[in-house]
């Protein structure tokens, strides 16, 4: 995902922004774990003595609409018997609900593990087991941490730090800034180096931690 974003010179937001890839990644991870819960086994791990013959049967393309990033094309898993009823993106559902803010907060590390799990629980309600929600949370967090800690280029022609303000529900809906460090490589590609969740009152200590993080990941 990061390699594709770097190759295409993606921005953070907009119709082709990195946030759209994040949204696609979170949705597809959740859908695949829902399918695991539905079938009772992970991909390519079917028990030989199980009674059901239902298995995964590829994917189908679907376009959903997000308020933050517009249209997002996702791969929805299918099963052989066509009994799978996805929850995070229901059949015939086109507009996303409650997903934008959790995607951005996830990749900005603005939510604890418990908060992420609670948010997925709120999205799913009682329709998906706690074990499935836990698996979704674990996989999404692992992918988020890999992205946030990946090695960076040692030299960038320029590095820009800017903020976007989004509405986040934390007891009540409030505006919250999310900071993005964007590097321009020597060949002109733009790379989102990292996202940080802020409160609106960030001072010198916060900005020093931003610079230290980039340095620790290879930026000179």
53-63: pLDDT as tens digits: 888 999 999 99
Chain centroid to CA 140: how far?
7
| Cα–Cα distance for residue pair 142/124, rounded to 1 Å | 21
Average pLDDT, the chain: 82
Domain end point (choices 89, 123, 148): 148
**Tens-digit pLDDT profile for residues 130-170:** 888 888 888 888 888 888 888 999 999 999 888 877 777 66
Residue 83 inside a domain? The answer is: yes
**Domain identity same for 110 and 212:** no
- CA 146, distance to chain mean position in Å, is 12
Are both 81 and 190 inside the same structural domain? no
The residue with greater pLDDT, 51 or 217, is 217
Beta-carbon contacts of 103 under 8 Å, excluding residues fewer than 6 positions away, are 19, 22, 23, 26, 68
Is pTM, for the whole model, over 0.85? no
Look at the chain and report how many structural domains it folds into.
2
Element (H, E) at 168: strand 158-170
Task: Write down which residue in 97, 114, 148 finishes a domain.
Answer: 148
Range of the domain at 94: 2-148
Does residue 153 lie within any of the structural domains?
Answer: no
Indicate the residue among 148, 167, 184 that finishes a domain: 148
Cβ atoms of 139 and 206 closer than 8 Å: no
Q: Token pair for residue 174?
A: 């409030």
């Amino acid at each position: 995902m990061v390699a594709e974003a770097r190759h295409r010179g993606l921005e953070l937001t907009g119709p082709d922004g990195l946030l759209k890839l994040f949204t696609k990644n979170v949705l597809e991870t959740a859908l695949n774990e829902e399918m695991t819960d539905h079938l009772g086994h992970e991909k390519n791990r079917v028990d030989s003595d199980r009674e059901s013959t239902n298995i995964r049967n590829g994917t189908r393309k679907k376009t959903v609409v997000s308020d933050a990033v517009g249209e997002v094309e996702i791969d929805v898993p299918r099963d052989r018997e066509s009994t799978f009823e996805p929850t995070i993106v229901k059949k015939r559902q086109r507009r996303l609900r409650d997903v934008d803010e959790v995607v951005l907060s996830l990749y900005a590390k603005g939510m604890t593990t418990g908060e992420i799990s609670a948010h997925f629980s709120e999205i799913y309600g009682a329709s998906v087991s706690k074990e499935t929600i836990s698996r979704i949370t674990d996989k999404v967090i692992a992918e988020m941490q890999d992205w946030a800690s990946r090695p960076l280029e040692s030299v960038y022609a320029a590095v820009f730090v800017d903020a976007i303000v989004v509405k986040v529900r934390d007891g009540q809906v409030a505006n919250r800034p999310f900071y993005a460090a964007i590097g321009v490589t020597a060949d002109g590609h733009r790379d989102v180096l990292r996202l940080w969740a802020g409160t609106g009152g960030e001072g010198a200590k916060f900005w020093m931690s931003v610079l230290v993080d980039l340095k620790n990941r290879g930026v000179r």
